[in-house]
Amino acid sequence: MAFLGTVARRVMACHQPLSPLSRASTRCYNSQSTHTTEKSVPYEKTLKQEDGISGPTKPLPKSADVVVIGGGSLGCQTLYHLCKMGMTNVVLLERDRLTAGTTWHTAGLLWQLRPSDTEVELLAHTRNVISSELEEETGLETGWIQNGGLFIASNKQRLDEYKRLMSLGKAYGIESYVLSPAETQDLYPLMNVKDLYGTLYVPKDGTMDPAGTCTTLSRAATARGATVIENCPVTGVQVKVDDFGVKRVKAVETAHGTIQTPCVVNCAGVWATKLGKMAGVNVPLVAMHHAYVVTERIEGIQNMPNVRDHDASVYLRLQGDALSVGGYEQNPIFWDDVSDKFAFSLFDLDWDVFMQHIDGAVNRVPALEQTGIKSTVCGPGT
């Protein structure tokens, strides 16, 4: 078993002192040279394979008022809300299975406070749908866990930023509190607060199960008349020019037939750019590697809030009696040409790139220094 602290020391021992930029391009610590439980799964190898399935799960309709392309969290949310608006002749097309691509391996964190009032309103609405509305409507659970969220401020400027977020949140009825280092320690006893100016605590933040949420959203939508078709990759989007010289969607082409429609919603995730090109639209989006590790059991971590440390670029997600440790890389590995065959797969985790998150996590929760790594996840994000 590898420990987070041990991983950090091994990676550092592999290199001469390097700048952050040059360190990101090297690799020494890997599954062949150590006894970690890292998955060595290239994207060509699929983790979920269902042999014998060669056609769509349902017959394609000849036409639809709206076609949603992509069966991840965004696509399923879009389909659900279209149905809530009263639309019934709507179709969702998924190239593989629901959640394929990115959604199936995401952390499922929901932070309600953001700098944009539009985002705050959308996230507050999403939380309401995920935490109560869907379960009341369908009787199915989304895996929602309300354990709260804690934003870390390591300097006065960051704390001032969080105070502004708190003020914005109040306008939308989002409960939040600025805590002193001592109050933060009382809330999260395992946390190192010696280098903190304070924290912003949002008690009604939490996490969801991405797969469970998509299943519940899709079932709620189909109960209202929508159609969900899996194993049906889109191969083209037909457009026409109207009387005013404006290009309009005419139809969606798939490997199994064509659906006439005046409206397409691009929710294709890592394939969104490729899909946009089919209609002559530039989608400014690129896929990149995103990784996190799941630790072994940590005594005393149960019921702790999720943590986001923007300055250290790390997040700590409660995972029962363990933590998922991840973050957003300063020098991410981009994936420009996403394979059409990619579905439920993972990349090898590059420990050199991931090192910055280990350092930040161990500093914030010192108990992680001697905590084992149960599993690693490195998949595409956008």
Class of domain 66-108+209-278: alpha beta
Among 112, 61, 21, 43, residue whose Cα is nearest residue 229: 61
Average pLDDT, the chain: 88
Pairwise pLDDT comparison (74 vs 329), residue with the higher score: 74
Question: Please, which pLDDT band fits residue 282 given cuts at 50, 70 and 90?
Answer: very high
What pLDDT sits at residue 301? 97
Mean pLDDT, to the nearest integer, of 103-123?
Answer: 95
Q: Which fold has domain 4-36+286-297+316-381?
A: D-Amino Acid Oxidase; Chain A, domain 2 (3.30.9)
Q: What is the pTM of this model?
A: 0.86
List the chain domain ranges: 4-36+286-297+316-381, 66-108+209-278, 149-204
pLDDT exceeds 90 at position 271: yes
- Residue 28: the pLDDT is 29
**8 A C-beta contact, residue 159 and residue 178:** yes
pLDDT at 8 (0 to 100) = 56
Residue 316 DSSP one-character state = E
pLDDT value, residue 235: 97
Tokens linked to 163 = 């105070």
The pLDDT score that the predictor gives to residue 22 is: 28
- The closest alpha carbon to 23, from 303, 258, 300, 356, belongs to 356
Q: Which CATH class is domain 149-204?
A: alpha beta
- At residue 193, the pLDDT reads 98
Q: Say if residues 252 and 66 touch (Cβ distance below 8 Å).
A: no
Cα angle: 290, vertex 296, 299; to 5 degrees: 125
Q: What mean pLDDT comes out for the span 285-305?
A: 95
Mean pLDDT of 352-381: 93
- In the chain, the largest separation of any two C-alpha atoms, in whole Å, equals 68
With 0-12 CB in 10 A as exposed, 13-18 as middle and 19+ as buried, what is 54?
Answer: exposed
Higher pLDDT, 42 or 3: 3
What ranges make up the beta strands (E) of the chain? 66-69, 90-93, 109-110, 149-153, 177-179, 198-202, 206-207, 227-229, 234-241, 247-254, 257-260, 264-266, 287-295, 306-309, 314-319, 322-327, 334-335, 373-381
66-108+209-278 and 149-204: same fold? no
Strands (E), 161-254: 177-179, 198-202, 206-207, 227-229, 234-241, 247-254
Mean predicted confidence (pLDDT) in 20-35: 30
The burial of 175, by beta-carbon neighbours within 10 Å (0-12 exposed, 13-18 middle, 19 or more buried), is given as middle
Higher per-residue confidence, 245 vs 267: 267
Q: Confidence class of residue 37 from pLDDT cuts 50, 70 and 90?
A: very low
The per-residue pLDDT for range 239-258, each reduced to its tens digit, is: 999 989 899 999 999 999 99
